[in-house]
Amino acid sequence: MISFFINEKKYQCTVSETMRLIDLLRGELALTGTKLSCEIGRCGSCMVLLDGKPVNSCLTMAYQCDGKRVTTIEGLAEGEQLHPVQEAFLQEGGFQCGYCTSGMVISTAALLDAVPNPDQEQVLEALSGNLCRCTGYGSILRAVGTACTRVSKEKKEMSG
Ligand code: FES
Ligand code: FES
**Which contiguous run of DSSP H or E holds residue 88?**
helix 84-92
Q: Which top CATH class is 84-158?
A: mainly alpha
| 2 phi/psi in degrees, rounded to 5 | -115, 155
Report the alpha-carbon distance of residue 42 to residue 156 in Å, rounded.
36
Distance from residue 98's CA to the centre of ligand 2 (Å): 5
Please tell me the predicted confidence (pLDDT) of residue 152. 83
Per-residue pLDDT in tens (0 to 9) along the chain, 160 residues: 999 999 999 999 999 999 999 999 999 999 999 999 999 999 999 999 999 999 999 999 999 999 999 999 999 999 999 999 999 999 999 999 999 999 999 999 999 999 988 999 999 999 999 999 999 899 999 999 999 998 888 878 887 7
Residue nearest to atom 4 of ligand 2 (CA): 132
Distance from residue 13's CA to the centre of ligand 2 (Å): 32
Please tell me the predicted confidence (pLDDT) of residue 136. 87
Burial of residue 53 (CB within 10 Å: 0-12, 13-18, 19+) is exposed
Atom number of ligand 1 nearest to Cα 22: 2
CA distances from 99 to 125, 134, 145 (A): 20, 9, 20
Residue 46 in contact with ligand 1 by CB distance below 6 A: yes
Please tell me the predicted confidence (pLDDT) of residue 155. 79
Strand partners, 49: 54, 71
Distance from residue 154's CA to the centre of ligand 1 (Å): 32
Please tell me the predicted confidence (pLDDT) of residue 154. 82
Instruction: Classify domain 2-75 at the CATH superfamily level.
Output: Beta-grasp domain (3.10.20.30)
Report the alpha-carbon distance of residue 26 to residue 46 in Å, rounded.
10
Burial of residue 16 (CB within 10 Å: 0-12, 13-18, 19+) is exposed
pTM of the entire predicted model: 0.95
Residue nearest to atom 2 of ligand 2 (CA): 97
Report the alpha-carbon distance of residue 30 to residue 51 in Å, rounded.
21
Please tell me the predicted confidence (pLDDT) of residue 156. 80
- Listed by start position, the domains of the chain span 2-75, 84-158
Q: Which ligand is nearest to the CA of 132?
A: 2
